[in-house]
Amino acid sequence: MNNVYYGKLIFELSKEGRCGYSLPENECADYKMQALPANLMRAEAPALPEVDELTVVRHYTNMSNNNFGVDTGFYPLGSCTMKYNPKINEDMAAHPDFTGLHPLQPMGTVDGALEVYYNLQMSLAELAGMSEFTLNPFAGAHGELTGLMIIRSYHMSRGDEKRTKIIVPDSAHGTNPASAAVCGLDVVVVKSRPDGTVDVEDLKPLLDDTIAGMMMTNPNTLGIFEHNIAEIAKLVHEAGGLMYYDGANLNPMLGKVRPGDIGFDVMHINLHKTFSTPHGGGGPGSGPVGVRAGLEQFLPNPRVMKDDMDHFYVENNDKSLGFISGFLGNFAVMMRAYTYILTLGYNNIKNVGPLATLNANYIKESLKDCYELPIGGVCKHEFVFDGLKDKSTGVTTLDVAKRLLDYGFHSPTIYFPLLFHEALMIEPTENESKETLDGFIEVMKTIAREAKEDPEMVKSAPHNTPVRRLDDTQAALHPIVTYRELQAEAL
């Protein structure tokens, strides 16, 4: 990793007069842009870098070496499902018969694209036990928002305007309450029991005629299956609410449980988690939303449909909640997810959940002597340790996470869920071999030993990464977010 020269910003490699592009001659040069009124044009060209092509290639190639991806190594980031992103997915997403399609091209010229969209909709519906799906939402949080809009639309369509509260467990991802707020819903928190599942007794008094529904992740953020789900769904339904399934943790359910079969009415799926599309450093994702029979009309516009003659078409429905995206969502991500489903087929996809669950339990059982396991019993795809078992060393979860980087592993999710002070949330996926897991287990044990023998070394980790621990307090106190500001600060 050559950080000496290539640690620079692209702006710092710029030199006036250099050029990294080639464009055709202007064949209609008689028509000059200078004819436009000067007061409608910018005064100066934007201060973008001027660099040659090879400089650009080396700059970004070297930058990529300072990154860690699933292809680099084991990535046990809890609740993120960092599974392998198959290469064939990328080839199909780049298929030239699809990438050049304009989203508003005339019907009849995009049948192949609509078929992919429709077939993926129906495949997800089958896998989730739902009636229909929309693929328009761009990410998980966008799917949550869309799902909540569906729930509100359902109540409003019945003239039931007072249902403006949504129940969210205290262990939920932060997106749940945030999505509710964007959707104009007030959040009511329901507590967890000591075993990490929703406290049904705490839930009961919350259920009245102002409740729009309840959001749940199952298995929950502790990796524990909410075994009372049938009773919870019954209670919420009796109170007139709908059940929302946050699909962030869908992976262990593949092959075992379908959300639609266990009482959920509306749900989203993160294609970038369960269906192997790459996370891309934080997107693009895709957050398809499914509904049970009876709620289809509320799905967002536009919708892709198929008629009796097997012709695909796009439709806008009056009863729909409206539009939540410009077009039909992140289509290239759908190409990948559909490729993944076809690659696995029904016969392999059913092993995804079980193998992910096996891997998680194997790590949990192998490390529970060194790390505090607050909730015993079987977990699903992930589980949470509450830091090191021996708290006397002063070594925190953050330190363990940073030390893991030195050993070439990505760290688990830390300090989430908020139920435990030193949460360390581990999610292997079905793609990891026993040897990889054994290597991780060995390193985790080594770190526990180092914490006793040389705590200072662990507390100052990482030592072998491209950069050391960062001063994030300074970054937040005096935000420097552009090159222009950086120049002014001479950092």
Partner 1 sequence: MAYKFFPHTDEDIRSMLNTCGAKSIDDLYSDVPSELVFKEDYDLPEAMSEIEIRQYFDYLGAQNTKLTCFMGAGCYDHYSPSVVNDIVRRSEFLTSYTPYQAEISQGTLQYIFEYQSMMAELTGMEVSNASMYDGCTATAEAMMMAVANAKKRNKVLISETVNPIVIRVVETYAKFHGVVVEKIAAEGGVTSRADFEAKIAKDDVAGVIVATPNFYGILEDYTGWADLCHEHKALLIMNCVASALGVIKTPAEWGADVAVGDGQSLGIPMNFGGPYVGFLCTSKKLIRKMPGRIVGATKDADGKRTFVLTLQAREQHIRREKATSNICSNESLMALYVTIYMSLMGKKGLREVNELGYSGAHYLAEKLVKSGKFELAFPDKPFLNEFAVKTTQDIDMLQTIGALEGFNVGLKIADDTMLICVTEQRTKDEIDDLADLLIDPLPEEAENEENNNETV
Partner 2 sequence: MSKIIDGLYYSESHEYVKVDGEFGYIGITDYAQHELGNVVYVDMPEVDDEVAAGEEFGAVESVKAASDLLSPVSGTVVEVNEALEDEPGLINKDAFENWIIKVELSDKSELDDLMDAAAYKAMIGE
**Interface positions with partner 2 (CB under 8 A):** 415, 472-473, 476-477
Q: Of 50, 160, 202, 372, which one interacts with partner 1 (CB under 8 A)?
A: 50
Q: How far is the CB of 144 from partner 1 (least distance, A)?
A: 7
Residue by residue, DSSP assigns 336-396 as HHHHHHHHHHHHHHTTHHHHHHHHHHHHHHHHTTTB--SS-S--SS-EEEESBS-GGG---
Q: Of 208, 346, 390, 394, which one interacts with partner 1 (CB under 8 A)?
A: 346
Strand order, beta sheet including 211-216: 132-134, 289-291, 266-269, 242-247, 211-216, 165-169, 186-190
* Interacting positions 215-244 with partner 1 (CB under 8 A): 224-225, 227, 229-230
Q: How far is the CB of 203 from partner 1 (least distance, A)?
A: 18
Strand partners, 371: 388
Alpha-carbon gap, residue 78 to 359, rounded angstroms: 13
Structure token digits, residue 290: 């499914």
Q: Which is nearer to partner 2, 238 or 472 (CB)?
A: 472
Alpha-carbon gap, residue 488 to 491, rounded angstroms: 8
Among the residue ranges 48-56, 234-242, 386-394, 448-456, the one whose residues contact partner 1 (CB under 8 A): 48-56
The item of partner 2, partner 1, none sharing an interface with residue 77, based on CB under 5 to 8 Å by kind, is partner 1
Q: Of 74, 78, 121, 127, which one interacts with partner 1 (CB under 8 A)?
A: 127
Q: Which is nearer to partner 1, 159 or 479 (CB)?
A: 479
Residue 110 makes contact with partner 1 by CB under 8 A = yes
Specify whether the CB–CB gap between 427 and 382 falls below 8 A: yes
The item of partner 2, partner 1, none sharing an interface with residue 432, based on CB under 5 to 8 Å by kind, is partner 1
The item of partner 1, partner 2, none sharing an interface with residue 98, based on CB under 5 to 8 Å by kind, is partner 1
Specify whether the CB–CB gap between 84 and 419 falls below 8 A: no
Q: How far is the CB of 392 from partner 1 (least distance, A)?
A: 25
What Å distances lie between residue 182 and 19, 28, 186, CA to CA? Answer: 44, 48, 10
Q: Which is nearer to partner 2, 108 or 479 (CB)?
A: 479
Query: Which of 429, 371, 428, 380 has the alpha carbon at shortest distance from 400?
Result: 371
Report how many residues bind partner 1 under the rule CB under 8 A: 200
Q: Of 193, 293, 342, 421, which one interacts with partner 1 (CB under 8 A)?
A: 342
Alpha-carbon gap, residue 334 to 272, rounded angstroms: 10
DSSP letter (8 states) at residue 43 = S
* Interacting positions 310-329 with partner 1 (CB under 8 A): 321-329
Specify whether the CB–CB gap between 391 and 43 falls below 8 A: no
Residue 348 makes contact with partner 1 by CB under 8 A = yes
Residue 405 makes contact with partner 1 by CB under 8 A = yes
Residue 488 makes contact with partner 1 by CB under 8 A = no
Q: Which is nearer to partner 1, 25 or 392 (CB)?
A: 25
Q: Which is nearer to partner 2, 35 or 476 (CB)?
A: 476
Alpha-carbon gap, residue 443 to 81, rounded angstroms: 21
Query: Which of 458, 446, 474 has the alpha carbon at shortest distance from 367?
Result: 446
* Interacting positions 417-476 with partner 1 (CB under 8 A): 430-434, 460, 462, 465-472, 474-476
Q: Which is nearer to partner 2, 33 or 476 (CB)?
A: 476
The item of partner 1, partner 2, none sharing an interface with residue 216, based on CB under 5 to 8 Å by kind, is none
Residue 362 makes contact with partner 1 by CB under 8 A = yes
Alpha-carbon gap, residue 463 to 465, rounded angstroms: 6
Specify whether the CB–CB gap between 267 and 134 falls below 8 A: no
Residue 247 makes contact with partner 1 by CB under 8 A = no
Helix axes 111-128, 331-349, angle to 10 degrees: 50
Where are the extended beta strands (E) located within 199-318? Answer: 211-216, 242-247, 266-269, 289-291, 303-306, 312-315
Contacts of 273 (CB under 8 A, 6+ apart): 80, 81, 83, 140, 247, 248, 250, 251
Residue 376 makes contact with partner 1 by CB under 8 A = no
Alpha-carbon gap, residue 153 to 185, rounded angstroms: 12
The item of partner 2, partner 1, none sharing an interface with residue 247, based on CB under 5 to 8 Å by kind, is none
Structure token digits, residue 204: 């009961």
The item of partner 1, partner 2, none sharing an interface with residue 157, based on CB under 5 to 8 Å by kind, is none
Q: What 3-state class would DSSP assign to 248?
A: coil
The item of partner 1, partner 2, none sharing an interface with residue 201, based on CB under 5 to 8 Å by kind, is none
The item of partner 1, partner 2, none sharing an interface with residue 113, based on CB under 5 to 8 Å by kind, is partner 1
Q: Of 261, 315, 390, 442, which one interacts with partner 1 (CB under 8 A)?
A: 261
Q: Of 5, 66, 158, 193, which one interacts with partner 1 (CB under 8 A)?
A: 66
Q: Of 200, 235, 305, 486, which one interacts with partner 1 (CB under 8 A)?
A: 486
The item of partner 1, partner 2, none sharing an interface with residue 139, based on CB under 5 to 8 Å by kind, is partner 1
Q: Of 2, 32, 310, 453, which one interacts with partner 1 (CB under 8 A)?
A: 32
